[in-house]
Amino acid sequence: THFSRYTTSHVSITSSIHSLIFQPPLFSKTMSYPLVCLGNPLLDLQFDTNAEYLAKYALKADDAILAEEKHLPIFEEAIQEKSLVVVAGGAAQNTARGAQYILPADSVVYFGSVGKDVYADKLIAANAQYGLKTQYMVQENTATGKCAALITGKHRSLVTDLAAANEFKASHLEKPENWAFVENAKFFYIGGFHLTVSPEAIQLLGKHAAENNKVFALNFSAPFIPQFFKDPLDASVPYCDYIVANESEAAAYAESHGLNTTDVVEIAKHVAKLPKVNTQRPRTVVFTQGTLPTVTVTYHAEKDSFDVSEYAVKELAQEKVVDTNGAGDAFAAGFMAGLVEGKDLAQSVDLGQWAASVSIQLVGPSYPFPKQTY
């Protein structure tokens, strides 16, 4: 007994010395993670379909919506489709993977909420393949979210059942092991889709970015965001240094805000000039327009003046386009990677256009391996 008591105390002393010396810091200095992304982690069930099938569910060819009860059979029917591919999705997660694809190791960390299931395992594996650091909130009793991506030629219609992704809470970010990433980051990228989930989390990151003069970027994500989530969107815009959106989201914004214009430059000017919390940085609005030029508008409050630029898209040959699911996310990935690398606006847009063209040449919102370089 004496011996065993000795052993026990010996073990406990050495282990406490061990934990004093080798206690891993919350955040090791060698990890940098300058970019934090927040969004809805989803698994994409992508398949080829036709106009008739879209009509059956009253879906538009190029849209993204939240699934209603009447859409749920789509997920069952997807399983029967010969062309079905199951790939990691979730708009901001696609952007996070893409930015990490371009940037050096340990550059990007992604937050979102998943279930405890094989779908989450699949997402974790996909992120790991890209070296994307994943800090999921895990729901015990809700399944990982999924998105039916209905491909009709060059168009994609997205129908999302958020499930566990809908249960993300700002408190997850405030846990010490997560907040360490927030404090350390210099850039934030928020999927506008997350405005349907946790505007509180977006506000929390927005405030942190503004108070610390860090870069805060938001994507409008889909027309229904400015249309039906106008209030949380309007509450987030004051924190934004960069807003990224496509032409149909810009149009939906103009309509829901009564701007009486369809001119993308006019819409961008309006958004760029909205009140801003962090006055140390101007706001830049970036509107992509498919194969038409990408438009950027920067508003300089101190001069009350705008910089307006257009960047032509190097259009891919038709036969090289596999699908456009995730093209906008890939643009945002390249664009954010450019900002993180300290590139200027023109160079960041170019990197965004490059990433989009690389991603649409393969199935789903993915990027090719072996890696292609810019």
Contact positions vs ligand 26A (CB under 6 A): 39-40, 42, 44, 64, 66, 89-91, 94, 147, 149, 158, 160, 162, 191, 193, 196, 325-326, 328-329, 365
Query: Cβ closer to ligand 26A: 180 or 313?
Result: 313
Contacts of 120 (CB under 8 A, 6+ apart): 41, 114, 136, 138, 144, 164
307 is catalytic: no
Please give the structure tokens belonging to residue 322: 């596999």
DSSP 144-156: PEEEEEEEETTEE
DSSP-derived 3-state class of residue 19: helix
Query: Cβ closer to ligand 26A: 272 or 337?
Result: 337
Query: Cβ closer to ligand 26A: 193 or 299?
Result: 193
Please give the structure tokens belonging to residue 276: 């801003």
d(CA 283, CA 274): 9
Query: Cβ closer to ligand 26A: 158 or 272?
Result: 158
Taking the complex as a whole, how short is the minimal distance between the CB of residue 374 and ligand 26A, in angstroms?
Answer: 21
d(CA 113, CA 343): 32
| Spatial contact of 242 and 284, defined as CB atoms under 8 Å apart | yes
Query: Cβ closer to ligand 26A: 94 or 134?
Result: 94
CA 4 to chain centre: 55
Taking the complex as a whole, how short is the minimal distance between the CB of residue 110 and ligand 26A, in angstroms?
Answer: 12
Taking the complex as a whole, how short is the minimal distance between the CB of residue 149 and ligand 26A, in angstroms?
Answer: 6
Residue nearest to ligand 26A (CB): 89
Residues constituting the chain: 374
Contacts of 42 (CB under 8 A, 6+ apart): 89, 90, 93, 144, 145, 146, 147, 160, 162, 165
Query: Cβ closer to ligand 26A: 110 or 299?
Result: 110
Taking the complex as a whole, how short is the minimal distance between the CB of residue 227 and ligand 26A, in angstroms?
Answer: 13
Catalytic member of 44, 161, 323, 329: 329
- Helices then strands, counting H and E runs in the chain, come out as 14, 14
Other residues' Cβ atoms within 10 Å of the Cβ of residue 20: 8
Taking the complex as a whole, how short is the minimal distance between the CB of residue 288 and ligand 26A, in angstroms?
Answer: 12
Taking the complex as a whole, how short is the minimal distance between the CB of residue 189 and ligand 26A, in angstroms?
Answer: 13
Radius of gyration of the chain from its Cα atoms, rounded to whole angstroms: 22
CA 137 to chain centre: 16
Catalytic positions are: 329
